[in-house]
Structure 1
Amino acid sequence: MADMRAFSDGLPRRADGAARPGAGAGAVGDPVARAGVRTAVLVEGPSDLAAVEALAVLRGRDLTAEGVCVVSMGGAMNIGHYAARLGPPGLGLRLVGLCDEREQGYFERGLERAGAPGRDIFVCAADLEEELIRALGAEKVEDIVRREGDLRAWQTFVRQPAQLGRSPERQLRRFLGTKKGRKIRYGHLLVEALAPDRVPAPLEGLLAGV
């Protein structure tokens, strides 16, 4: 699904990831139309994108072939920009959102201003990492950390004064965000470890709805 990332900032991109010269709002429609995109799934960041992609693969879904583009926006406060460019005021795509509970208001207002229905927002209780850790259980997540060669880093982390007294679930959630790229890598790994009946409701609902 690598080509879905071509729209991660709303700009056409070269193979090396750089924006194509002259690419702007007026240029976005051409590659989107050529790709047959009908639905844009707006997520806050790349770890959310990784989780959605991983679940789609597990379910045998080819979102690109189905006309679904997953867009990592670089933060919930960018929702207005993306909704305007990709939704009814711009390219006319159907918009679907996945967000943290604390960011739900940003998503609702952004989609409302773009004339898109707010019912297509799927909300994680805290964030997607918390949902995945709760679905798997701390012990299983720790097994994945060990298998991935991060055991020493994890053991060092939990001995820090700030982590004393915190539950393993809260420690794991914080640990995933302490190194660049770790949340993205574990976004794939945690989803791949889920039993079919243990997929968090927001992620399950999103995939079923596109």
Structure 2
Amino acid sequence: MNYFLLILFYLIGSINFAYIVSKFKNIDISKSGSGNPGTSNVMRTMGKKFAVLVLIGDLSKGLLPVVLLPNDDYLIFYCFVAIIGHIFPIFYGLNGGKGVATYIGVYIGFTQVNPFDVSTFDSLYFQIFNIPIFGLIYFLIIKLSRVSAIASIITVGLTSIMLIANISLLEFRVVIVIINLLILVKHSENLKRLLSGEENKF
């Protein structure tokens, strides 16, 4: 394993685009809206344009290791530290986002770039409809529930099942499960507010 690459991708993951973008409007995103420095909170506090910029940046952090190192035996670990960097960024006192967008970047990488040469992912229909279908699921849940946390948790869970069902490497599956648990823990406050009827809605 290349420890330099582990540190590098952690540092790249630690770049928080919500903090950066919010500076353009002189807003401290950690003290606005829900206080979470992520795409959903930027959408609520600053609007769609800024949220799209943050989303692209956060997706890219997860996608980057797959694009740069598709044949590396330790690729999943480089992806993992990018997500860890997003959740616990060294540049922002370990106060980061919830990891969803960066994880989705990883998912896009493993299914669209397909470094493991999985036959399911090679299918033309899969390549065309994979992202739109999961995107549609996410937005339908948002439309019905108006709660970003529910849509995020369900979408992460479904995409993880897709990866685990098609990639049989034990270490890969273990890392995907750990990522899911981390994302679930990061949403624990949302789930508490949801149960008490106090969760922020779109």
TM-score by length of 2: 0.30
Structure with greater strand percent? 1
Structure whose CA Rg is larger: 1
Report the TM-score when normalising by structure 1. 0.29
